[in-house]
Amino acid sequence: MKRYSKILIALMAALCVWGCTPEFPIDEDGLLITDRAECFVSNFELLGTDFQTVRTKNAVIDTVAQTIQVDVFFGTDLRNVYPQFSLVTDAKLDPKIVGKVDFSDLTNPKTYTVVSGNRKVRKTYTVFITVQKP
């Protein structure tokens, strides 16, 4: 009986190790690495502290120059806004956005890097903000 118990335990341990091996590669953020090389921003939103848009019109995204131009309402508190990026499938953003961001220094625009699904292509986008005239 002891012999069968040891064999059963060894078999279970082997199955556990074999079963826990990922079939697909995963990056440091726990996201699936795919074969997609596309790398671009498709939409950009900027929300205020009330989670309503602060844009006066749609953001202009230039995927060739890798720029995003956003016009915001006069009086917007740019120290407390929430940027939201829509990316091509399987891409990710670096640095990650985990909360509100300070965009108040208009002379030093923020940059974000879009990383492709295969993690081989990186494109840095610069976000330029213009405040509407009063």
What is the Cα–Cα distance from 93 to 111, expressed in whole angstroms?
11
**CA 84 to chain CA mean position, Å:** 9
pLDDT at 24: 75
Sequence spans of domains, the chain: 25-131
What is the Cα–Cα distance from 44 to 127, expressed in whole angstroms?
10
Mean pLDDT of 34-50: 97
Mean pLDDT of 63-85: 97
When the pLDDT of each residue in the chain is averaged and rounded to a whole number, the result is 90
| The residue to which tokens 């921003």 are assigned | 41
Mean pLDDT of 115-125: 97
Give the bridge partners for 41, in sequence order. Answer: 87
Fold of the CATH domain 25-131: Immunoglobulin-like (2.60.40)
pLDDT at 17: 54
* Residue 94 banded pLDDT, cuts 50, 70, 90: very high
Give the bridge partners for 71, in sequence order. Answer: 130
